Structure 1
């Protein structure tokens, strides 16, 4: 291609090619020769990379597609292609081809709108396509997809405060780690670190499930209640929140640690660190910490901990800082 303006037909051809390469590079039988041909295709025009990266975002959405019902026959059969691979491939093609996209929407497989948001160094407020408001904490990332039968958010990492627009016929679902939170209209907060998730309900009600593959809609939370779960939990753990709960202090730029054991405090701290802290042993984890900290300055907390707690710092083989308790001297006889 030359540097002259591209025609609509040329744009469409690039989009189709990007969809093709996205499917082939994710296929288990993709060959070395195909990967080399893909690299050559990328070098032909700068727009090739742009379109391919856009297809990768669509592929992430397609990864959430349900299995087709048994009475739905795929247009193309291939002995080495699984239903899930077919579904994702169809999703990529469907978003490139309007007619197929319309069919995918009606089947509830494909969204008609998609948004991706990130918050890096500052808390960020965003508005979703349905009018819902979301506040993202530092280091957070989410995507929004509007399906025919649901509004779906995937919290990739971090923390978000949701004010969901009410729509009983169009539920709002947040996927976090292995679980999900289902609402119609309410206000709540979702915190996630690695495989740990905590949901705090402010207004309305939500249904929380610890595993998206489990039957049923999950456990119902009312106002001033919270649910938490992690990998392997069959049901979430439910507890009451109180007036002095500090879970939402991040919205004011603060992390409040209210006399917590280090093994409880570290997930809250590590959420903000590039190199997470590690606890050397159980005795170190039992040491308690308190205080109010600026969420933008938590890296300085790491070096200051030995000044306020009976601990010292070392490094493990991965380069992470390790907290070690200082052995207490036996009293002199």
Structure 2
């Protein structure tokens, strides 16, 4: 398949429809790279999300097994006849596929404490791992599976159901999947998504987006509004479930942000270039302060115990 290039706004809907159809059929690496480049443009990401939403509405209609009029949305801009025809053709192909079993309605609030990691089996068959000091809400409807991550970290093995996608909400950010395994950490400085297998659409804000595949991570910096990506080893993804963290050339600010999950508000980092120092090593999540004490032997920093009991990391 050749890469799509929009020559006018009218073609974006057609491109979104074509990519949607191809992504359902496990595209090869070259196609995934082409789609990632196309999807990085905000207008393309918006059109793709709108097409997914329309497909979800039609999937719900099929489940109800009775005629239903979809709500008419006033068009913001003129849609081309070609785009509508392409979308209709793709939707016909979608309807030819087997539909999944509807997920039971389910709502749940989860709040863990320090050293309080939990594992849950959700009604749809997904397995949810919740890290310490994490708060989240689960809301499964007939149309979509939603998880709202208020703070902390989760890893989920998502049971595939193409008619009811799963969306993790972290503030304004959305992480959308059908069936995959991925990790999300929402901390004071960063929102981080790491993919073990499958594909994940990550939209941290209105201007940034990323399509992540296996062994890829994307980190969104709240203060700088910057989205960065990196490649991981499989052992680095959600390794906290085994009680240890392994990190390679991690920026110190990112590492301290993750440690805050285990010792909230205890570790401070001086401002300036110190935040960009790179650190490698491993950590016992039950004793994160051991790493802080070892930092002066790894990089040119010093630790200072403040009167309020906090530990401040400063340049040496």
TM-score normalised to structure 2 length = 0.58
Counterparts of 1:148 and 1:215 in 2: how far apart (Å)? 30
RMSD: 3.3
| Corresponding residue SS for 2:222 | coil
Q: Which residue in the other structure is 1:222 paired with?
A: 213
Q: Which residue in the other structure is 1:204 paired with?
A: 198
CA distance 1:285–1:166, change in 2 (3 Å): closer
Larger radius of gyration: 1
Displacement of 1:225 = 2.5
**Deviations 1:162-205 (CA, angstroms, capped at 9, x unpaired):** 11111111111100232011111111111221251111122222
| Corresponding residue SS for 1:297 | coil
Q: Which residue in the other structure is 1:169 paired with?
A: 163
Q: Which residue in the other structure is 2:242 paired with?
A: 252
Q: Which residue in the other structure is 1:184 paired with?
A: 178
Query: Is 1:128 matched up with 2:119?
Result: no
Where structure 2 has 5 or more consecutive residues not aligned to the other structure, the ranges are 1-70, 74-103
CA distance 1:314–1:160, change in 2 (3 Å): same
Q: Which residue in the other structure is 2:258 paired with?
A: 268
| Corresponding residue SS for 1:208 | strand
**Deviations 1:142-173 (CA, angstroms, capped at 9, x unpaired):** 21101231110011211111111111111111
Displacement of 1:232 = 7.2
| Contact 1:158-1:191 within 8 A present in 2 as well | yes
- Give the one of 289, 311, 314 matched to 1:321: 311
Counterparts of 1:232 and 1:306 in 2: how far apart (Å)? 26
**Deviations 1:250-294 (CA, angstroms, capped at 9, x unpaired):** 121102233434234222222211334222243544554332221
Q: Which residue in the other structure is 1:115 paired with?
A: 108
Counterparts of 1:209 and 1:300 in 2: how far apart (Å)? 35
Where structure 1 has 5 or more consecutive residues not aligned to the other structure, the ranges are 1-68, 72-110, 327-333
| Contact 1:209-1:235 within 8 A present in 2 as well | no
| Contact 2:170-2:186 within 8 A present in 1 as well | yes
Displacement of 1:231 = 3.3
Q: For 1:40-79, what aligned pairs fall within 5 Å after superposition?
A: none
Counterparts of 1:133 and 1:193 in 2: how far apart (Å)? 22
Counterparts of 1:220 and 1:196 in 2: how far apart (Å)? 18
CA distance 1:232–1:269, change in 2 (3 Å): closer
| Corresponding residue SS for 2:146 | strand
| Contact 2:175-2:200 within 8 A present in 1 as well | yes
**Deviations 1:92-111 (CA, angstroms, capped at 9, x unpaired):** xxxxxxxxxxxxxxxxxxx9
Matched residue count: 215
CA distance 1:302–1:226, change in 2 (3 Å): closer
Counterparts of 1:181 and 1:161 in 2: how far apart (Å)? 12
Counterparts of 1:256 and 1:139 in 2: how far apart (Å)? 20
Counterparts of 1:244 and 1:282 in 2: how far apart (Å)? 32
**Deviations 1:23-81 (CA, angstroms, capped at 9, x unpaired):** xxxxxxxxxxxxxxxxxxxxxxxxxxxxxxxxxxxxxxxxxxxxxx999xxxxxxxxxx
CA distance 1:226–1:309, change in 2 (3 Å): closer
Counterparts of 2:170 and 2:213 in 1: how far apart (Å)? 19
Q: Which has the higher contact order (CA 8 A, sep 6+)?
A: 2
| Contact 2:196-2:234 within 8 A present in 1 as well | no
Displacement of 1:136 = 1.3
